[in-house]
Amino acid sequence: MHDDIDRILIPEDEIRAGIDRVAAEITLAYTNRDFTVVAVLKGSCVFASDLIRRIPVPLELAFLAASSYGSGTTSEELRISFLPMDSEIQGRNLLLVDDILDTGRTLYKLKQELLRRGAAEVRTCVLLDKPARRSVEFEADYRGFVVADLFVVGYGLDFAGRYRNLPYVGALKAAAYHRASEAL
Ligand code: PRP
C-alpha cells in the first residue's frame, strides 16, 4: 500500500499538531455550550475519533453516512444513507466533521438538510480543504490544512474504497490511480 504513494503530503506529526490547533479552537467555541459532533462517514472516522479525544469539554457524538454517487474522483449526486435520530438533531448545536472539503456540495447539502430537520445551529469542521475544487460557495468554520488539487488518500481518505488506513495523508501515484480505475 505504501508503495502506491507518490509522496507524503502531511506526515503523522503534522496531522497531530493540526488537530491540536483545531481542537483548541473548537474547545474555546463550545465551552459551556452543549453540542454534538456529527461525523460524516466513512471518510471522517479517523479524523473524528482523534479530534474528539482532544476536546476536553462535554460533547455528544452522532454519525451520518453520505457519499457521492459512484466511486470515481469527481463528486456527483449525494446519497445520504442514514442520519442521526430526530431527537439528536432538533434544537441541537451540531458540528459536522468531515475529512475533506472538495467541491463543497456534501457539506453544503448536509448543513441544509440538518437545519431543515430542526437543528438549532450547524457548524462544520474539516481536516483538509481543497479550495481549487470548490463548485458551491461554502467554507468550513474550522479546518486543519489546505491542500493542492492532487488526489489525496490516507488518514480516512480513500480511493476506490482503499488507503483509508494509511496513518498519513499522501498523494497517490498515477500508476496506482490508473490501475484501480481500470478495475472499477
Ligand atoms: C468524500 C469526503 C467528503 C466529500 C467531499 O466522501 O469524505 O464527504 O467526498 O466532497 P465534496 O466537497 O466534493 O462534496 P465520499 O463521497 O468519497 O464518501 P466516503 O466519505 O465514504 O469516502
Is 179 or 156 the better-scoring residue by pLDDT? 156
Cα 17 to ligand 1 centre (Å): 23
Task: Provide the whole-model pTM.
Answer: 0.93
Burial class (CB in 10 A: 0-12, 13-18, 19+), 79: exposed
pLDDT tens digits for range 30-85: 999 999 999 999 999 999 999 999 999 999 999 999 987 654 445 467 889 999 99
Q: How far is CA 74 from CA 68, 77, 91, 133, in A?
A: 8, 10, 34, 10
Whether residue 43 contacts residue 77, with contact meaning beta carbons closer than 8 Å, is answered with no
Per-residue pLDDT tens digits for 96-110: 999 999 999 999 999
Q: What pLDDT shows up at residue 115?
A: 98
130 Cβ below 6 A of ligand 1: no
Are 135 and 103 in contact, with CB atoms under 8 Å apart? yes
Backbone phi, psi, residue 181, to 5°: -60, -40
Q: Give distance in angstroms: CA of 100 to centre of ligand 1.
A: 7
Q: Which helix (H) or strand (E) holds 93?
A: strand 93-101
Q: Would you give the distance in Å from CA 61 to the centre of its chain?
A: 15
Q: Is 129 in the pocket of ligand 1 (CB under 6 A)?
A: no
Q: Quick check: is 102 catalytic?
A: yes
Establish whether residue 102 lines the binding site of ligand 1, counting it when its CB lies within 6 angstroms of any ligand atom. yes
Candidate from 74, 99, 164 with most ligand 1 atoms within 8 A of CB, to mutate: 99
Q: How confident is the model over 128-138, as a mean pLDDT? A: 96
Ligand 1 atom nearest to CA at 130? 12
